[in-house]
Structures are given as C-alpha cells and as structure tokens.
Amino acid sequence: MSGDGHLLPIASNADVVAVRRQVRALAVDVGLSLVDQTKVVTAASELARNALVYAGGGRASIEIVENGVRKGLRLSFIDEGPGIPDLALALTDGWTTGSGLGLGLGGSRRLVDEFDLISAPGKGTTVTVTKWAR
C-alpha cells in the first residue's frame, strides 16, 4: 500500500459508518464529482456491510491511486469469512442468502469503474473497486 493508504477495521455498524466517512473524505481529495463521491460511498457501504454480515467482520483498505492521467480511489474489502461458492450467482441481482435485497454486489459493480471479486469457500473474500476522477 502507498503512503496514501488507510486501513480500517470492519467489526461493527459504527465501523461501517467510519469507512463511509473516510471514503467520502478521500473521494473529495481526489476530485471525484459529487455524484461519483456518492456512488463510491454507496459501493463502500454495501461491501463493508457484506463483510460485517456474512463474514463477521474484516477490514477496509482505502488508497489514492494515479494512472498518469487521472487520480482515483481504490478500495479493498477483505475478510476471512466463509467465502462465496458461486460468484456469478452472488453477483446476480436479487440473489441473497440473507435478508437483504441481493443488490449489494451487482449494484456496487455498476457504481464503480473497476470491480474485482476474489472468493472461494473457506478462503474468505476480497472485493477491490476503483473509481477514477474525470
């Protein structure tokens, strides 16, 4: 992680709120538009909540990235929970094993520019998303 990185625990609802706040602050710093700030904060909220609900907690890594032209925000949500057996199914809108709407993963993917989901049963889950400033 670069010097711009932040690592935050996800162990409670209050932690999810803290992640949201930190993502919002850094989204402002990298110059994301108000609409894009809200998109990335919404994605962060869904992914942090998934780590809390389905894995009993995890951590969020938040870093500012640059590709030579643009700045962006890259977020990883990492847990050591049960993992996801079928990634395509988990990304299907409306599919849930919980009491949610089943829109968190698919919705988050649509709200960001890059989306990477790594998970396997017994190996935990890592979701990494990037939002670039325009």
Ligand X SMILES: Nc1ncnc2c1ncn2[C@@H]1O[C@H](COP(=O)(O)OP(=O)(O)O)[C@@H](O)[C@H]1O
Do 115 and 127 meet the contact criterion of CB atoms below 8 Å apart?
yes
Tell the smallest beta-carbon distance from residue 23 to Mg ion (Å).
16
Q: Is the dihedral of CA 120, 121, 123, 128 positive or negative?
A: positive
Classify each residue of 10-28 as buried b or exposed e, where b means 16 or more C-beta atoms within 10 Å of its C-beta: beeeebbebbbebbbebbe
**Considering CB under 6 A, how many residues would be counted as binding ligand X?**
23
Selection from ligand X, Mg ion, none that 96 binds (CB < 5 to 8 A by kind) is ligand X
Per-residue binder mask for ligand X (CB under 6 A), 77-106, x = binder: --x-xxxx-----x----xxxx-xxxxxxx
Q: Which is nearer to ligand X, 9 or 100 (CB)?
A: 100
H helix runs in the chain, sequence order? 13-29, 34-55, 87-90, 104-111
Is 119 an interacting residue with respect to Mg ion (CB under 5 A)?
no
Per-residue binder mask for Mg ion (CB under 5 A), 89-108, x = binder: -----------x---x----
Is 50 an interacting residue with respect to Mg ion (CB under 5 A)?
yes
Selection from Mg ion, ligand X, none that 62 binds (CB < 5 to 8 A by kind) is none
- Separation of alpha carbons 94 and 102, rounded Å: 4
Tell the smallest beta-carbon distance from residue 56 to Mg ion (Å).
14
Q: Residue 110: how many CB atoms within 10 A of its CB? A: 11
Is 120 an interacting residue with respect to ligand X (CB under 6 A)?
no
